[in-house]
C-alpha cells in the first residue's frame, strides 16, 4: 500500500523475515453462523482465504497457531472487557451453543497450538510470543476476525514483541467493509504491513 496523505511519516515497511508462522485469530462460529453474537455480513471469503494460507503454511512446514476465546463459567475472568462487550458471555464454559469452536471447514491439526485468550490481542496474557520466539519465528502472518478488533490488537502486539506482522487483507473481515478497509489502512500506516493473499501464499511457499 502507498503511504497515503501522511507522506514519509508513515511510509515504512517491516517486511518479511526468513521464518514465518501463520496465526489464525478467533475464526470461530460466533462470527460465521446464523445466531452467532458477532455474526459478520460476509465471513465466507475470509474463511476461504485462510484455508489457502493454512494449506500453504502446512505444506512448507511453517508453524500454524490458532486462537480462541474462552471464559470460566460465570465470567469471573472476563474483567472489564466483558463489561464493555457483554456478548462475550457467549464464550463462557456454561453458555449455550458452541460459539467458540473453530469455524468449519477450518480445523487445527494435532500438534498445532490453540491459544486460549480472554482479551482482544492474541499475545496479551498468553504463551504465544514465547512459543513463536522459541520456534525461531520472525514474521507472523495474521488472518482472522475481526479486523478492527482482535486482528488489529494482535498485529500491534506482534510488533511490540519484535515480530514482523503481515496482515492478509483477504483473510480478515469486519462488521462492514468500511471498518475493514479503514483499519487495514491505519494498520498499514503504523503497526503492520498489509499483504495481499497472493503475496502471502508466495512467501509461505
Q: Give the domain ranges of the chain.
A: 16-204
The C-alpha cell 469471573 sits at: 76
Q: What is d(CA 80, CA 121) in angstroms, rounded to the nearest whole number?
A: 15
Confidence of residue 2 (pLDDT cuts 50, 70, 90): very low
pLDDT digits (tens, 9 = 90+) for 56-96: 999 999 999 999 999 999 999 999 999 999 999 999 999 99
Q: Which CATH architecture has domain 16-204?
A: 3-Layer(aba) Sandwich (3.40)
Q: At what angle do helices 197-204 and 44-60 cross, to 10 degrees?
A: 20
Single pTM value for the model = 0.94
List of residues 6+ apart from 66 with CB closer than 8 A: 23, 24, 27, 102, 108, 112, 113, 114, 115
Confidence of residue 10 (pLDDT cuts 50, 70, 90): confident
Number of H helices, E strands in the chain: 7, 6
- Active site includes 65? no
Residues 131/157, Cβ–Cβ less than 8 Å: no
| Per annotation, catalytic residue among 65, 150, 160, 172 | 150
Amino acid at each position: 500500500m502507498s503511504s497515503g496523505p501522511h507522506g514519509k511519516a508513515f511510509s515504512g515497511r517491516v517486511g518479511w523475515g526468513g521464518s514465518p508462522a501463520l496465526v489464525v485469530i478467533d475464526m470461530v462460529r460466533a462470527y460465521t453462523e446464523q445466531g452467532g453474537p458477532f455474526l459478520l455480513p460476509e465471513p465466507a471469503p475470509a474463511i476461504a482465504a485462510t484455508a489457502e494460507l493454512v494449506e500453504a503454511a502446512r505444506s512448507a512446514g511453517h508453524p500454524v497457531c490458532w486462537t480462541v476465546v474462552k471464559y470460566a463459567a460465570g465470567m469471573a475472568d472476563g474483567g472489564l472487557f466483558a463489561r464493555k462487550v457483554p456478548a462475550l458471555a457467549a464464550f463462557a464454559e456454561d453458555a449455550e451453543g458452541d460459539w467458540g469452536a473453530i469455524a468449519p471447514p477450518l480445523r487445527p491439526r494435532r500438534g498445532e497450538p490453540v491459544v486460549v485468550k480472554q482479551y482482544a490481542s492474541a499475545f496479551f496474557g498468553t504463551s504465544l510470543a514465547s512459543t513463536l520466539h522459541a520456534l525461531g519465528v520472525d514474521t507472523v502472518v495474521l488472518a482472522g476476525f475481526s479486523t478492527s478488533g482482535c486482528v488489529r490488537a494482535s498485529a500491534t502486539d506482534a510488533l511490540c514483541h519484535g515480530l514482523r506482522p503481515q496482515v492478509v487483507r483477504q483473510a480478515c473481515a469486519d462488521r462492514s467493509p468500511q471498518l475493514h478497509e479503514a483499519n487495514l489502512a491505519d494498520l498499514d500506516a503504523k503497526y503492520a504491513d498489509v499483504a495481499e493473499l497472493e503475496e502471502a501464499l508466495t512467501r509461505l511457499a
